[in-house]
Amino acid sequence: MKMGELVSAGDRAEIFTYGSGTLVKLFRKEISSRHIQREANNTMTAKAYGLPVPAVKDIIHFNGREGIVMEHIQGPTITNILRKSPHKIKTYAQKFAQVQADLHSISVTDFPSQREFMEKTILNSLGRLGHDTTETILKLFKDLPDADRVCHNDFHQENIIFSKNGPVILDWQEALRGNPIADVVHAVLVQEHPVPAPILKTSSYYFQLHNKYRKLFAKFYLQEYMKLTNTSSGQIRDWLIPVAATRLFTKVSMEEKDWTEKYIRKQLGALAT
């Protein structure tokens, strides 16, 4: 079957229509088969638990690349909605929180351990943070409670589609089994990190405005999540440094890693005072 219309493109993959009612997520050649299979398996596992995810149909090979064929879920992402209707920020931040809270209500056994993943990635930050700082973070982390809940581990506005049947969650490659508060903190840190504005990218004014908007979204989202789940600000605070440390070993830009390192050192300094 031939590729259809290009729907979207990112660093890891391009998404094309692929026959009636299906899409193919065609990964770039540098993405390993192991990572692609993990995303397919995690998505199927999430589906088996009754979570709102696209159905996986097949894995294909096309011109030296691999792709996951999946159900075509139609509808806007939260990003799409807020670009057209920025005044709806609080409404959709609260919806974002509700979708995640529903996700976190599910106990699982099949996803990889968040605890093992985080310990490994914190240790891998040693070269950047130094031995003493890494040991301090590991100690903070080891004092935190484990759990067995679904954690998406890449939860952001582009990964939720509002279909006619309700919200659908995309991109399950990084899914873990663990403490949902870590998943929340990950989502907050993604919003807190400054990024270029989608328009007028050279304008410092729009840069500041865009990132204030992102932080406002994070504020509304976190307030709603804490209310829905009876989570305290202290519980959130306990996870900030360990989760931030894991982002130093993920595939984010060097600029984001620099920002994250400064954030970690600032948070550690606040603990010491």
pLDDT tens by residue, the chain, 273 residues:
678 899 988 888 999 999 889 999 999 999 999 999 999 999 999 999 999 999 999 999 998 999 999 999 999 999 999 999 999 999 999 999 999 999 999 999 999 999 999 999 999 988 889 999 999 999 999 999 999 999 999 999 999 999 999 999 999 999 999 999 999 999 999 998 876 666 555 667 667 888 899 999 999 999 999 999 999 999 999 999 999 999 988 777 788 889 999 999 999 988 877
Which tokens in the block code for residue 150? 């679904």
DSSP reduced 3-state for 123: helix
Class of 6-71 per CATH?
alpha beta
Domain ranges of the chain: 6-71, 78-272
Which tokens in the block code for residue 116? 């093992």
Q: Fold for domain 78-272?
A: Aminoglycoside 3'-phosphotransferase; Chain: A, domain 2 (3.90.1200)
Which residue bears the tokens 């998406």? 152
Nearest C-alpha neighbor of 117 from the set 66, 180, 175, 157: 175
Nearest C-alpha neighbor of 221 from the set 54, 114, 75, 95: 95
Q: Please give the C-alpha separations between residue 187 and each of 54, 74, 112, 152, 168, in angstroms, as whole numbers.
A: 21, 24, 19, 10, 17
The C-alpha atoms of residue 148 and residue 61 are separated, in whole angstroms, by 35
Reported in sequence order, the residue ranges of the chain that DSSP labels E, i.e. its strands, are 6-9, 13-17, 22-27, 56-62, 65-71, 149-151, 160-163, 166-169, 176-178
Beta carbons of 103 and 51 less than 8 angstroms apart: yes
Burial of 181 (0-12, 13-18, 19+ CB in 10 A): buried
Amino acid at 157: Q
